[in-house]
Amino acid sequence: MKKKLFLAGVFGMLMGAMAAWAEPDVYVAGMERTSDGTPAACYWKNGQKLVLSGSKPFSSATGIAVAGSDVYVSGTEKTPGQKWSVCYWKNGAKTALTDGRTVDAESTGIAVSGNDVYVSGWEGNAACYWKNGQKIVLSTAESKTTDIAVAGNDVYVSGWENTGNNIILACYWRNGVKTELTRASIAEPAKAIAVRGNDVYAAGYDAARNGAAAACYWRNGRKVELSMGGYAMDITVSGNDVYAAGYQVKINEHFNTDAHYWKNGSRVALSGGNTKTYAHAIAVSGNDVYVAGYETNADNNNILCYWKNGEKITLTNGRTTGNVAAIALGGTE
């Protein structure tokens, strides 16, 4: 009996270790144009493409979240002759948030907390978000959102406002209350937001002294510079480590770009076969870093991909073009 109990205990530990080592499912949301050039919203799960059904003729996925076995994707779509409208899909079933009849609207991200679904975006050039289909206005000035995160009962939305005189105010809203980050002449300097404990992180770029962009992030409103000539497009926090994904513009090399990410301010290059590579989204699981982006080929088409610990996994063949908006991990529970 003791031997059987011992073997059962060993088996249980092995199963637990195998679960801990299990690879997460990798979800990448974006858009790929069809053969006739029409943009179509889609996402990839472990490299397998899933077209989002029920889309209007023009559509693009803008964010993705995974909760258990459920996959949520925010999107923007349009019927010719109408305005752009906002929607999201849960496991492929679409929920419309705007009708596209009177003003343009766009989604920028999605978050899920319990039974609540949050979609950030803008409508009629005013920043807002939707909670379970109910619109919450964040600003009445010309403004846009860029990302959304939920921590407990608090909703955080990154974005910007136009204060006039070509000055853009980078900011975020916590439960509708605005926090100013910086003022710059570069549009959309705050691109993404993440929350860990009491700390709020926003990634983006600011105007450097020479007028060029400078990649940076803000922690509780205090700016941390990353690199000159760079753009930070996404941010995540794992333990005590801060990761930001983006790219560097090589002004002296015909404005080619290098995709990379920063870990605690140290830049990590990402391999690519082309002279223009871009990183737009990042996720971390344990010691593994996943970055989604694309390369631009000689035909000026984007080859969508993601990198795991620097190793590139290609999602499209470059015969048509597309873009990457977000990355999420799931399936390890």
Q: Judge whether 315 lies within some domain.
A: yes
Question: How far apart (Å, rounded) are the C-alpha atoms in residues 133 and 92?
Answer: 17
The confidence score (pLDDT) of residue 7 equals 39
What residues pair up with 43 in beta bridges, in sequence order? 29, 50
The confidence score (pLDDT) of residue 189 equals 76
pLDDT (tens place) for every residue of the chain, 333 residues total: 433 334 345 444 434 444 445 799 999 999 999 999 999 999 999 999 999 977 688 999 999 999 999 999 999 999 888 899 999 999 999 999 999 999 999 999 999 999 999 999 999 999 999 999 999 999 999 999 999 999 999 999 999 999 888 788 999 999 999 999 988 766 667 999 999 999 999 999 987 666 678 899 999 999 999 998 899 999 999 999 999 999 998 766 556 899 999 999 999 999 766 679 999 999 999 999 999 999 999 999 999 999 999 999 999 999 999 999 999 999 754
Which two tokens mark 294? Answer: 């694309």
* Predicted TM-score (pTM) of this structure: 0.91
The confidence score (pLDDT) of residue 2 equals 38
Number of folded domains that form the chain? 1
Helix (H) or strand (E) holding 16: helix 2-21
Q: Judge whether 94 lies within some domain.
A: no
265 is in which domain, residue-wise? 229-333
- Assess contact for 188 and 146: CB atoms under 8 A: yes
Question: How far apart (Å, rounded) are the C-alpha atoms in residues 186 and 170?
Answer: 10
Q: Judge whether 288 lies within some domain.
A: yes
Where do we find the tokens 């490299």? 47
What residues pair up with 13 in beta bridges, in sequence order? none
Q: What is the DSSP letter of 259?
A: E
Q: Judge whether 254 lies within some domain.
A: yes
What is the CATH number for 250?
Answer: 2.40.128
- In one-letter notation, the amino acid at residue 203 is A
Q: Judge whether 153 lies within some domain.
A: no
Q: What is the DSSP letter of 99?
A: -
Q: Judge whether 179 lies within some domain.
A: no
**What phi and psi, each to the nearest 5 degrees, are found at residue 247?**
-155, 165
Measured between its terminal Cα atoms, the distance across the chain in Å is: 32
Distances from the Cα of 138 to the Cαs of 32, 112, 158, 299, 323, in angstroms? 31, 19, 11, 41, 27
